[in-house]
Amino acid sequence: MKTPQTIHLTVPAVIVFMIFVLVNPIVPFDNARQSVIPCSVKNKTGPGTFCWTPEVSDIEKADKIIIDCIAQRNRSADLLNAIAKNGFGSYFRQYEGTFGDNGEKLIRIYCMCALPTSHADWRRNKIMIIGGGHCYFNAVVYPAGMKCVEFHVNSTR
């Protein structure tokens, strides 16, 4: 598991962080905007599996972690502004259970401000978007340790 980087925040950044956390409370699981990619879809079930299917309680923890992660690790003012304007709950999110190097359960979260028209079955099939900037980002979280392991905002290209 990667060690999180330390980020030094200036006073204005701390204020933005506090506002961001206040306007983005954890919302209950929303079937219209959230989807858990079942492990069985990836055909890697059984002994020696590389995936697991997160439950709603895992998703709720993951959302709490990613909101903190966005506020602490994000270097894109555009992303913070978009989430502050529309709320984290406005993003479509896919959750995929995976395992870390030491066998710990991780959740990869794919966040999208809009769904591509070519992905009608986004609830069962993982969507990988290249480019799109702050409209698309993803993270890997460790729910048991309440940690953000990875965070990436897509490039603008």
Higher pLDDT, 152 or 39: 152
**What is residue 118's predicted lDDT score, i.e. its pLDDT?**
72
Which residues sit opposite 138 in a β-bridge? 110, 152
Quote the CA–CA distance of 36 and 58 in Å, as a whole number. 10
Quote the CA–CA distance of 95 and 39 in Å, as a whole number. 10
Quote the CA–CA distance of 26 and 60 in Å, as a whole number. 7
| Residue 62: burial class (beta carbons within 10 Å; 0-12, 13-18, 19+) | buried
Higher pLDDT, 113 or 3: 113
Q: Is 60 exceeded by the pLDDT of residue 38?
A: yes
Q: Is 70 exceeded by the pLDDT of residue 92?
A: yes
Q: Return the percentage of the chain with pLDDT > 70, whole number.
A: 72
- Residue 3 — pLDDT band, cuts 50, 70, 90? very low
Tens of pLDDT, residue by residue over 123-141, are 878 888 888 888 888 999 9
The residue whose two tokens read 């406005």 is 90
> pLDDT averaged over the chain?
76
Q: What are the strands, taking DSSP E only, across the chain?
A: 34-37, 51-52, 92-99, 105-112, 136-142, 147-153
**What is residue 69's predicted lDDT score, i.e. its pLDDT?**
87
- Residue 33 — pLDDT band, cuts 50, 70, 90? confident
Q: Is 50 exceeded by the pLDDT of residue 122?
A: yes
Q: Where are the alpha helices (DSSP H) in 6-151?
A: 11-23, 56-73, 77-86
